[in-house]
Each structure stands twice: as C-alpha cells, then as structure tokens.
Homo-oligomer: A and B are copies of this chain.
Amino acid sequence: MAKNDEVCEIIYVDEKKVKKVQKEMLSEEDTETISGIFKALGDLTRLKILYALSKEELCVCDLSSLLGITLSAISHQLRILRNLKLVKSKRRGKIVYYSLANDHVLSLLHVGVKHAEES
C-alpha cells in the first residue's frame, strides 16, 4: 500500500493550476496577521467582548458584569485584542474605557452575523 502520510507528489496533481494559485497566495506574514485577527474573533469570550463594544464603550468591570466572567479573564483577553489593534482604551480617572479600534472589526461582525442567520 502506498504511504499516504506524505505530502502529495503524485502525477495527477494539476501542476499548472497549483503553480498559478501558488503565485496568488498571500505572504506567510500576511497570512499570520489575518489568521491572528480571525483567531481573536474565534474565541467566545473575545467575540462577546467585541460585540458588546460594538454597542457601547465599556469599562472592564462593566464587561465582567455583563458577561459573567472574572475581571482577570476579561483583562487578559482585552490585552490580546489591544495588541491586535482591534480595540482601543482610554483612561478617565480610575476607570479604563474600551471601544472598537476601527471599522474592520464591525464589518467582520456584520458578515459573521449574516452568515449565522442564513445557515
């Protein structure tokens, strides 16, 4: 039996097509950036945070109360979202308010909701 745990090198591959697509692929760097964004939205807690922030600017404590998740967990996730430039923060006195950093996140949320509605 042929080993099937190897990368495919068999003759029937449509080389021309594969080479064409290979040229059109994104760089590894871009791919990682993009998958990073989607990974962020792929976690239930982070998705809820982002969706909530799409409705209102909120502080960590509001988010904790709203989602029933500890302050620490919220804060850890917010840091990830901040590093990805998906949310921004603004301190007013003791309280740090979070909001969405740009419209891309909003677009992504909308497309996501639309897909969910139709399936």
Q: Which secondary structure characterizes the binding site on chain A?
A: helix
Complex contact A18–B107 (CB within 8 A): no
Residues of chain B within 8 A (CB-CB) of A40 are 38, 42
Contact A30 B72, beta carbon cutoff 8 Å: no
Copies of this chain in its oligomeric complex? 2
Residue in B6, B52, B72, B115 whose CB lies within 8 Å of A104: B115
Known: A37-B112, A47-B34, A116-B30. A21 touches B55 (CB 8 A): yes
* Per-position 1/0 for A91-119, Cβ under 8 A of B: 00001000000101001110111111111
Q: Are A51 and B31 in contact (CB under 8 A)?
A: yes
What is the bound-complex CA distance between A71 and B113, given in angstroms?
32
Residues of A within 8 A of B (CB): 4-10, 12-14, 17-18, 20-22, 24-26, 30-44, 47-48, 51-52, 55-56, 58-62, 64-66, 68-72, 85, 95, 102, 104, 107-109, 111-119
